[in-house]
Amino acid sequence: MQTSLFDELTEEQIDLGQGCSLRLLQQVLPAELAGTCLQRLAALELEQTRIRIAGRDVPIPRLNAWHGDPEAAYAYSGVYFSPRPWTGELQACREYCEQHSRSRFNSVLVNLYRDGNDSVAWHADDEPYLGRNPLIASLSLGAARRFRLKHRSDKQRKPLTLTLPHNSLLIMQGALQHHWLHTVPKTRQACAARINLTFRRVIPDLH
State the residues that interact with ligand AKG by CB under 6 A: 109, 111, 120, 125, 138, 147, 164, 182, 184, 196, 198
Instruction: Please give, one letter per residue, the 3-state secondary structure of the chain.
Output: CCCCCCCCCEEEEEEEECCEEEEEEECCCCHHHHHHHHHHHHCCCCECCEEEECCEEEECCCEEEEEECCCCCEEECCEEECCECCCHHHHHHHHHHHHHHCCCCCEEEEEEECCCCCCEEEECCCCHHHCCCCCEEEEEEECCEEEEEEECCCCCCCCEEEEECCCEEEEEEECHHHHEEEEECCCCCCCCCEEEEEEECCCHHHC
Shorter beta-carbon distance to ligand AKG: residue 27 or 63 = 63
Shortest distance (Å) from residue 51 CB to ligand AKG: 13
Shorter beta-carbon distance to Mn ion: residue 98 or 125 = 125
Shortest distance (Å) from residue 198 CB to ligand AKG: 4
Shortest distance (Å) from residue 79 CB to Mn ion: 15
Pick one of ligand AKG, Mn ion, none as the site partner of residue 27 (Cβ within 5 to 8 A by kind): none
Residue nearest ligand AKG, CB atom distance: 196
Residue 56 dihedral angles phi and psi, to the nearest 5°: -110, 145
Pick one of ligand AKG, Mn ion, none as the site partner of residue 127 (Cβ within 5 to 8 A by kind): none
Shorter beta-carbon distance to Mn ion: residue 125 or 127 = 125
Shortest distance (Å) from residue 117 CB to ligand AKG: 14
| Among candidate residues 199, 193, 198, the one with its CA nearest the CA of residue 39 | 193
Shorter beta-carbon distance to ligand AKG: residue 5 or 152 = 152
Give the footprint of Mn ion on this chain (CB under 5 A).
Answer: 125
Shortest distance (Å) from residue 120 CB to ligand AKG: 5
Pick one of Mn ion, ligand AKG, none as the site partner of residue 38 (Cβ within 5 to 8 A by kind): none
Shorter beta-carbon distance to ligand AKG: residue 27 or 200 = 200
Question: Cα separation of 207 and 205, whole Å?
Answer: 6
